[in-house]
Structure 1
């Protein structure tokens, strides 16, 4: 996400390279490029102009510290202003009420039904809630079935009345059902259209008035750029919603909607969708997003995702195995499964400072581990637990069984051996020995 914008901002900051101080001249050249980068990212012209004006006011006359170059100072000012433009602080979701009623709104194709499921899964797994999904899209024949499929995937009940063509009644009946059956969150998925029209607006306004939701969320496809912002304004004028959800942000290389939407509707972005899986939902943190736009990564989110998958008991068992030199391919496979649960690979790499820029032109597939998994799964249980048994004959059999080449099996064996040595040294706290091991690795750190 934001690849194009990140590249162009990086080039803009290069104008200040070699200068000892920020002046009227060099700041004007830099900000001209910053404004152009924002416009190319589909940010509204007035927002881009106001943004660069604020940055200029803060930058002019700033004395550059000896440890800070003008380009670095400009990056900091732009980061602070971007954070403010996108909302400043993260906005939480209102979960008051018993049950909490959440109304989902948006155009058809914005990912509303899928995100209703993602939100239900988020509240169930992260907030320990018992959600109920409600199918109130009475026009799209597949919408009710889609919500039932989504509910089945995450183990959340779906309330629907396929024969009823009154969305207000369906929503009200669903809330009664929730109260009677111990559900503490009700997520109402409403109908969308291909464009904003009066009938749709009246209908969702009637549902809104009848059920008085604690939280009204507007779901918008980030890839539609400035159109997304205009649609959000039309909905907000009628519904006065509480927050925005940006879907398909992982496919948006521009980022205009994420940057502009808060200042146009004055409502926070609460969540973002970053992939197709039900777990691909993140709370929107403006400061972390500003870091990512400026190529600084997002280590905090990466650590949080890792902690979610961290199992203390499993970690203790793994430590014992490493100490006894019993770390095998089954353990390695378990580690891969944990990494996969953290999200898609491209998104994870983008969170590592500098990695997104370094691997800009490298295509990172979501199934980056499939060859490794296939090789390990083609081993016998004894081979997985005692890799030293794997000779040339066994390697040939494993390569055939996994549909890979003998070179790939050899590469995995070599990297596994290097990683085992490193883990053993880390376990013993031998810092010098570990550095020696890393230096001795031909080709550097193990590749994926």
Structure 2
């Protein structure tokens, strides 16, 4: 959904630049384009209509400043209305301890994976250490084994007792064990189904009554169509839902219907699943999401990711190298590996203001791997001093990395260009991140 709306809003703003002020005519055209974009992203029709009607009303209102360009006015008003839409409800999790969380949703939505992600979130972000996962989905084949594997990968215990034959029995055992072990956060992965049915909802209601969770979270696939709203309403009628986790938020250009659940079902979105790895999990922040939709980036989210992988000593050394203009190819590889810890490059670029277009144009991850292979085929001395690379050395490196001498020459040339640009950038002169990235990727900018 983000990329599609970004393109539409950018197009609308570009068209509005040609006008001296906002008028009923050009606002109507702009709002129509945005409404069509929202509908194409699977946003609920009534929500899209209400949002656009409010934007139109405020664009033509007296509070619009005459000194601001029409495009800027439209973006500001659209930003504020989107923010209002996504800010309804309380996105915060309960601070109660012990905290019992019940996860529910249909099969295929990513519920079991979300259970592990949520556990890791408490371990890393909330600094809780007494956490336990309960494998309560005994309906789906291999669901228990899946959660056990995920729990082992993040070093968080997964409870399951084969002798307990029903989810209700598992719930009683888990609650008793949690009280005995003084578990601070207990996460119960409840059973799902391929579709909504009375058996699932009755079973869930019974488990909820036993667990008495302070939080009951519905895990919904962001790519789900308009049926997502009906799913949320059906679950809400049987258990007291407190929030929504939107899984696979990075994997589909649509996703608007899942966001519609917040408004139509009156349930706040609390988390976003943004990748397959256990740490690809974000607290839902309306301000940051709206900023990304409007191409403003999410620099706060990027900083948070960087802090999690931050190595203070390495950063001090890197700063010193940049100041002395001694940045070499080994440093380049080290920084590339650091960036990989933060997630896919396309996702990271989309969080930087002004960079979403570069990300969506197709960041060449394969080319970066070829560059890494070339550098790793060099000796430590060659990485530190690329100027000693004569013809014989270059042929050896090309053979060792499975590339060509021409490719290697291009990489070395572009590295020297990038090094000069980084030196200027560190002194506050010219360049900028977009231009540096273009040089690094072999584009002319």
> What is residue 400 of structure 1 aligned with on the other side?
399
For residues 378 and 150 of structure 1, the distance between their equivalents in structure 2, rounded to whole angstroms, comes to: 35
CA 403–181 in structure 1, closer or farther in 2 if over 3 Å, else same: farther
Match of 2:408 in 1: 409
- State the 1:264 CA deviation: 0.8
Give the TM-score taking structure 1 as reference length: 0.89
The DSSP-based 3-state class of the residue aligned with 1:251 is coil
1:50-89 pair list within 5 angstroms? 50-62=50-62, 64-65=64-65, 67-87=67-87
Matched position secondary structure for 1:141: coil
CA pair 73-320 structure 1, distance change in 2 beyond 3 A: closer
Contact 2:349 2:358 in 1 (8 A): no
Please state how far the C-alpha of 1:143 moved relative to its aligned partner.
0.3
Which runs of structure 1 show a deviation greater than 6 angstroms over 4 or more consecutive aligned residues?
441-444
Q: Indicate the SS of the match to 1:147.
A: helix
Task: Measure the CA separation in 2 of the matches of 1:134 and 1:236.
Answer: 22
What's the offset of the Cα at 1:67? Answer: 4.3
**Cα distance change on mapping 1:299 and 1:197 into 2, 3 Å:** same
Do 1:90 and 1:286's aligned partners in 2 also have CA atoms closer than 8 Å? no
How far the C-alpha of 1:92 sits from its partner, in A, is: 2.1
Measured on the aligned residues, the alpha-carbon RMSD in Å equals: 2.7
Partner of 1:118: 117
Structure 2 unaligned residues grouped into runs of 5+:
none
Deviations along 1:248-274, one digit per CA (max 9) or x if unpaired, are 111221231354121111111111011
2 CA distance for matches of 1:416 and 1:252?
Answer: 34
Any residues of structure 2 matched to 1:270-419 within 5 Å, and which?
A: 270-321=270-321, 327-358=327-358, 360=360, 362-364=361-363, 369-419=368-418
- Cα displacement string for residues 25-78 of structure 1 (whole angstroms, at most 9, x for unaligned residues): 332232222222222221222112211222222222346545422222111111
TM-score (norm 2): 0.90
Q: Distance in 2 between matches of 1:443 and 1:5?
A: 24
Match of 2:137 in 1: 137
Once residues 323 and 359 of structure 1 are traced to their aligned partners in structure 2, the CA distance between those partners, rounded to angstroms, is 29
Distance 1:179 1:334, change over 3 A: farther
Deviation at 1:229, TM superposition (A): 2.0
> Are the aligned partners of 2:136 and 2:190 in contact in 1 as well (CA < 8 Å)?
yes
Contact 1:136–1:167 under 8 Å retained in 2 = yes
Matched position secondary structure for 1:18: coil
Aligned to 1:47: 47
Matches within 5 A, 1:93-242: 93-98=93-98, 100-130=99-129, 131-181=131-181, 183-242=183-242
Q: Deviations over 1:189-225 (max 9, x none)?
A: 1111111110000111111110111211100001013
Tell me the distance in 1 between the aligned counterparts of 2:365 and 2:259.
27
Contact 1:86 1:258 in 2 (8 A): no
SS in 1 for 2:253: coil
Give how far 1:394 is off. Answer: 1.8
Query: Using the alignment, how far apart are the partners of 2:167 and 2:367 within structure 1?
Result: 44
Contact 1:219–1:245, Cα closer than 8 Å, also in 2: yes
User: Residue in 1 aligned with 2:27?
Assistant: 27
SS of structure 1 residue aligned to 2:282: strand
Number of the residue aligned with 1:244: 244
Question: Which consecutive unaligned segments of at least 5 residues does structure 1 have?
Answer: none
Residue pair 1:22, 1:61 contacting (<8 A) in 2 also: no
Q: Quick check: 3-12 or 415-424, which moved more?
A: 415-424
**Structure 1 residues 355-390: Cα deviation after superposition (integer angstroms, max 9, x where no partner):** 223554x33355563222222222233433444433
CA distance in 1, matches of 2:65, 2:198: 57
CA contact (8 A) 1:105 1:217 kept: yes
Contact 1:5–1:253, Cα closer than 8 Å, also in 2: no
Give per-residue Cα distances to partners, 1:75-106, cap 9 Å, x unaligned. 111111111111258722224122x2111100
Distance 1:34 1:426, change over 3 A: closer
1:253 aligned counterpart, secondary structure: coil
Tell me, what secondary structure is at the counterpart of 2:440? Answer: coil
Are 2:445 and 1:446 aligned? Answer: no
CA distance in structure 1 between the partners assigned to 2:279 and 2:248 by the alignment: 13
Measured in 2, the distance between the counterparts of 1:207 and 1:23 equals 56
Once structures 1 and 2 are overlaid, which stretch shifts more, 123-132 or 252-261? 252-261
Looking at structure 2, the residues matched to 189 and 442 of structure 1 have their Cα atoms a distance apart, in angstroms, of: 45
Q: Distance in 1 between matches of 2:174 and 2:211?
A: 10
